A and B are shown apart, each in its own frame.
Chain A
């Protein structure tokens, strides 16, 4: 195979080659990025614990459950622990500083979510006062918060009557060992929220978003879920009990077919780029019509001319793929930081980079095959007769 001729041909049309490589690099970068976003959205589903159930209103996730349900659920055989979990929905200083906050039973949180490991501070410190909070290490790193830091949160769903922000004190920092719990959440005591609402120091609905059940060892999740649902069949508010994975899936689905949408964008971009590479290769073939005839006259076989065009296409696409993957890896930490509250698990995996490279090489093969086949079939005499 005349490799230097392939290289020289690529260098002979520098601008065209660079533009094609650049467009492919952008496409591969985009595909890696979009796949990482989709994986991030699905991370909660993949990492869900099998020994947890979520109880929510059968009407909608946005309808709160009565406080009195907790003790009834705890009485169902197979239930080890029940923890309240209420979405707070506030922000720090500015709406753009948004991250998840949950009001929970502080004395049950770590028992229900054992994958959350305290790395600074202690559970005791967290339990010591209702205004203490537990924050993820990602959140602490983003805002520079430490143990003892006071965090003012402006409520949107729950507002304080005096118009001031809610005040929390960092009692401990945690790190999650599983993707279903991220490191960018603030957890605080439901008691603080409840007492503020009851005393009219704050305004908002008095209820519980979901109850999180920790199953007893050996219990059947399906039977427990059925028993919990049956408990409230006659009201006052019917519930729907699902596995944590199913709950996460519903949550992702609430955002619409984001994965399909993102997948379509990525697929569309790749298809368009494939056509662009095919166009480049066809142009290259037409410009070298005569040259291919000369090569054949010198004794180069049809297979070699086929390989030349194919490897040229592969070379362009492999370079574009490598560039795109490199760019996505280089910018991963930037995106992980800037999207930490929306997608806490944003990380470009080895599988994603391999997929990006694989797609680039596949495009190279698909786009190179037709011109290569034409070069192979080209009759030497016809090519030599063509105008130079």
Chain B
């Protein structure tokens, strides 16, 4: 059985919306093995983004435990969570979220500033990541000078540049046409299969979900079902 890299145990997270309390995740359990590529699907409000935020250390559970790569996130200070994200997590957003005043190269170099690397090494790693995503001929372009697909490629390079163990993608193809979306999904598969990255991808697109090893369907803050495309070892605990 493959080693578990992401584990959520009896996690509850709710939010205040006006006078109402909305439960995003309720008594939620999940285990994801090292090197897995999982798509997360579900209707709006099912807890998909909350799940990604908790795994990325961007949010804290009201109850339960979140363990990623052996690190218990629940008790970490804000500074420790920042360090955790810098070291072990790569993030890809639906809206790309590149820094508009920086070039593609500078955007990819940005997370590398958080690592003890010399300028030359930083540049070398950033260029390698940009080459991997096929953007090495656009390194001095700013986001406004790139197409949506190209921007997302740069965002993938930024997520990969620090060599994180886990990559979290929040609807990475949501704003792309079919062709650009396919190329981004190809890259994610490449990162998963060639570089062994564990990937959690939230998506509404069934075609995108098909590229993952398994699809975790959420509903009302719980795992509804897990549909594997290949034999997978993880199951919602106690279900």
Contacts and interface: CB of A to CB of B under 8 A. Distances in A.
Interface residues of B, number: 27
Interface string A298-325: 1111110000000000000000000000
15 contacts: A5-B101, A8-B102, A12-B100, A12-B101, A290-B97, A294-B93, A294-B97, A295-B110, A296-B82, A298-B91, A298-B111, A299-B83, A299-B87, A300-B86, A381-B58
Contacts of A296: 58, 82
Given A2-B110, A384-B93, A300 B82 contact: yes
A302 B79 contact: yes
A153 B146 CA distance: 77
Contacts of A300: 82, 86, 114
B78 A301 contact: yes
Nearest to A294: B97
Interface in A253-300: 290-291, 294-300
Contact of A299 (B93, B100, B111): B111
Interface string B97-121: 1011110001000110110000000
Contacts of B86: 298-300
B106 A4 contact: yes
A184 to B, nearest CB: 54
A330 interface: no
A156 interface: no
A294 B99 contact: yes
A297 B58 contact: yes
B99 A302 contact: no
Contacts of B91: 297-298
Contacts of B84: 299
Given A5-B99, A301-B78, 4 more contacts: A4-B102, A5-B102, A297-B58, A299-B87
A11 interface: yes
B101 to A, nearest CB: 4
Nearest to A9: B101
B201 to A, nearest CB: 16
Contacts of A298: 85-86, 91, 110-111, 114, 158
A299 B58 contact: no
A298 B113 CA distance: 11
Interface string A5-22: 100110110000000000
A92 B231 CA distance: 106
B107 to A, nearest CB: 10
A300 B111 CA distance: 8
A357 interface: no
Nearest to A4: B106
A225 B110 CA distance: 75
Given A8-B102, A381-B59, A388-B95, A301 B79 contact: yes
B61 interface: no
Nearest to A299: B86
Contacts of B101: 5, 8-9, 11-12
Contact of B82 (A4, A5, A12, A299): A299
Contacts of A12: 100-101
Interface in B42-100: 53, 56, 58-59, 78-79, 82-87, 89, 91, 93, 95, 97, 99-100
Nearest to B78: A302
Interface of A: 2, 4-5, 8-9, 11-12, 290-291, 294-303, 380-381, 384, 388
A388 B83 CA distance: 25
Nearest to A376: B78
Nearest to B162: A299
Contacts of A299: 82-87, 89, 111, 114
A28 to B, nearest CB: 28
A8 B79 CA distance: 26
A298 B99 CA distance: 12
Contact of B99 (A291, A381, A384): A291
A12 B99 CA distance: 11
Nearest to A298: B111
Interface pairs A-B: 9 shortest CB-CB = A299-B86, A299-B85, A301-B82, A8-B101, A12-B101, A294-B97, A298-B111, A380-B58, A299-B114
B231 to A, nearest CB: 33
Nearest to A290: B97
Contacts of B114: 298-300
B125 to A, nearest CB: 15
A295 B113 CA distance: 11
A300 B158 CA distance: 14
Contacts of A303: 79
Contacts of B78: 301-302
Contacts of A2: 110, 113
Q: Which of B83, B87, B93, B102 has the most CB of A within 10 A?
A: B102
Contact of B85 (A4, A290, A297, A388): A297
Contacts of A301: 78-79, 82-83
Q: Which of A2, A9, A12, A297 has the most CB of B within 10 A?
A: A297
Nearest to B56: A297
A9 B126 CA distance: 21
A239 B79 CA distance: 75
Contacts of B95: 388
A2 B99 CA distance: 12
Contacts of A297: 56, 58, 85, 91, 93, 97
